[in-house]
Amino acid sequence: PITLDQERLAEALEDRVVLITGGGGSIGGELARQVCRFRPSRLVLLGRGENSLWAIEQELRRDFPGLPLALELCDIRNPHRLNQAFQRWRPEVVFHAAAHKHVPFLERHPEEAVENNIFGTRNVLEAARNAGVRRCVNISTDKAVNPANVLGVSKRIAEYLVLEASRQAPAGTRYISVRFGNVLGSR
């Protein structure tokens, strides 16, 4: 268990537009549930799975009535659509949780890890920069430490992209990566 600084989180999220990529996924959905507690001015869930977006939308509308909520059916591999969504909502905080995470599938289909986890992350970072995002948190994996599989390598490269975006970002802007271990109940 991790103890979070609730005051600093409230400061970072309250009355801010927050966008979550992979918003319908198990990690993105849990991030959405947690973010809602800090009363953002709007929560934007972006993802390509229409059924999972619909399900989390129903849950959040029930549990957080009155919270301004927007959904963007969008694939992070499509830079044009991604830029449209970022320009429309102008998020201040982004949690980038969209990724392929299934180790055996990615071993069999490494090109999908490159397309989604690497190029998709690059697209998110460019859209964030173009929209003036102040905080961008990339959700990575412990498998990026001394990577031994395609998932780990693709997420390690994504971390390097975030690090480079951070170096090029204007003063006061933070782009960071956090590594999760295996997530219980993850899809």
pLDDT tens-digit series, residues 73-126: 999 999 999 999 999 999 999 999 999 999 999 999 999 999 999 999 999 999
The pLDDT of residue 91: 98
The Cα 32–Cα 142 span in angstroms is: 22
Q: What percent of the chain has pLDDT over 90?
A: 89
- How much is the pLDDT for 104? 94
Question: Residue 113 corresponds to which tokens in the numbers above?
Answer: 């890890």
Annotation says 143 is catalytic: yes
pLDDT band at 185 (very low <50, low <70, confident <90, very high): low
143, 157, 159, 175: which is the annotated catalytic residue?
Answer: 143
16-45 pLDDT, tens digit per residue, is: 999 999 999 999 999 999 999 999 999 999
Measured in degrees and rounded to the nearest 5, phi and psi for residue 104 equal: -60, -40
User: pLDDT category, 143, cuts 50, 70, 90?
Assistant: very high
Neighbour-count burial for 57-87, b at 16+ CB within 10 Å, e otherwise: beebeeebeeeebbbbebbbeebebbbebbe
- Whole-prediction pTM value? 0.94
- Rounded to whole angstroms, the Cα distance separating 176 from 12 reads 14
Give pLDDT, residue 9. 85
For residue 137, give the 3-state DSSP assignment: strand
For residue 56, what pLDDT is reported?
98
First to last CA, the chain: 20
